[in-house]
Chain A
Amino acid sequence: MRTIAVAVLLMLGVGVELLACLGVMVMTSAYDRLHFTAPATTIGPLAIAAAVIIEESLSTAGVKAILIAGLLLVVNPVLTHATARAGGIRTHGDFMTLEDKEARP
């Protein structure tokens, strides 16, 4: 039973990571691509961390898996916002208004 749970969680985690990479590849604009970084830092790492904990319990590997999943969970929204903000400032100046949005390439 434990083996099945670990296998399912690993397939879910790795599958989400692969689909997120595919999303980044096939979307056309930088803003659209940014959306696909979120599943890769939420569902994916949490599923993999859960698989590691079920297999190893709270060993060294388990603690590391929790730390990494937690770090990705906290940092990604900040990086996504900062990247989008930097893109907006680079393209449109200090703040992107709706008029600027209409002129977006």
Chain B
Amino acid sequence: MRRTAHWLAWWVALVVLWQLFVSTFAAPEVLAGLLAAAVSATAAEAVRGQNLVHFHPRARWFVQAYRLPGNVVRDCLVLGRVLWRRVVRREPIEGDFIALAFSPGGDDPQAAARRALYVAAISLTPNTFVVGIDRDNDVMLIHQLVPTDPTDARELLFPP
């Protein structure tokens, strides 16, 4: 019963998304949308049914996302300068890998959500993306085009 409810939720949401994109109620388009949504909902439910991972993020984490637009704009300017140096001045530019202290937490849903949001938020900023998290050694490996020498992973999202 619960799986059916999940499948239906996915299907309805995907049909709505399809309709928003195609903007027509022509029969062939609607039929194609119903079928495509059914296939996608089945795939989504098959993955969810395996119970691979659960996410329970805290609402206050999303409140802190107000810093992200500023970080993105700042990093876009950094990339602009890099492009200038590379194209106009013909300077060789090479990014670098940096290992940062990061407390990854355990296997609980809250820790999994925290890791996922850290990876997504850091990788959203143009100058930095996350390559991986070493949970055995409490290390996050990032790649930066212009290294900024952060002391830990948190500093990337909340610069001093």
* Inter-chain contacts of B75 with A (CB < 8 A): 38
> Are B125 and A98 in contact (CB-based, < 8 A)?
no
Residues of A within 8 A of B20 (CB): 63-64, 67
Proximity bits, B118-160, A CB within 8 Å = 1, else 0: 0111111111011110100000010101000000000000000
Contact A81 B23 (CB under 8 A): no
In the complex, identify which listed stretch (A3-11, A19-27, A48-56) lies at the interface while the others stay far away. Answer: A19-27
A64 CB contact (under 8 Å) in B21, B82, B134: B21
Instruction: Tell me the bound Cα distance from A73 to B99 in angstroms.
Output: 26
B residues contacting the other copy or chain, number (CB 8 A): 37
Contacts of A1-39 to chain B: CB distance below 8 A: 16, 19, 22-23, 26-29, 31-32, 34-36, 38-39
B43 at the interface (CB under 8 A from A): no
A31:B134 contact, CB within 8 angstroms: no
- Closest partner residue, chain A, to B145 (CB atom): A35
Asked if B129 and A84 sit within 8 Å, CB to CB, the answer is yes
Q: Are B126 and A81 in contact (CB under 8 A)?
A: no
A-B pairs with beta carbons under 8 Å apart, 24 shown:
A22-B83, A23-B79, A28-B93, A29-B94, A32-B94, A34-B129, A35-B127, A35-B145, A38-B72, A39-B79, A42-B76, A43-B76, A63-B20, A67-B21, A76-B123, A77-B119, A77-B121, A81-B119, A81-B131, A84-B129, A84-B131, A96-B132, A97-B134, A98-B97
Report the Cα distance A68→B115, complex, angstroms.
26
Distance of A19 Cα from B97 Cα, bound (Å): 24
18 new A-B contacts at CB < 8 Å, known A19-B83, A88-B132, A96-B132: A19-B80, A23-B79, A26-B83, A28-B93, A29-B94, A32-B93, A38-B76, A38-B125, A39-B76, A42-B124, A43-B73, A67-B21, A81-B120, A95-B132, A96-B131, A97-B134, A101-B97, A104-B97
Partner-B contacts on A (CB < 8 A): 16, 19, 22-23, 26-29, 31-32, 34-36, 38-39, 42-43, 60, 63-64, 67, 73, 76-78, 80-81, 84-85, 88, 95-98, 101, 104
Partner of B141, one of A27, A38, A42, A96: A96
Inter-chain contacts of B54 with A (CB < 8 A): none
Most buried by A among B86, B123, B127, B131: B131
Q: A95: which B residues are within 8 A, CB to CB?
A: 132, 134, 141
Answer yes or no: B87 CB below 8 A from chain A CBs: yes
Inter-chain CA distance A38–B17, complex, in Å, is 24
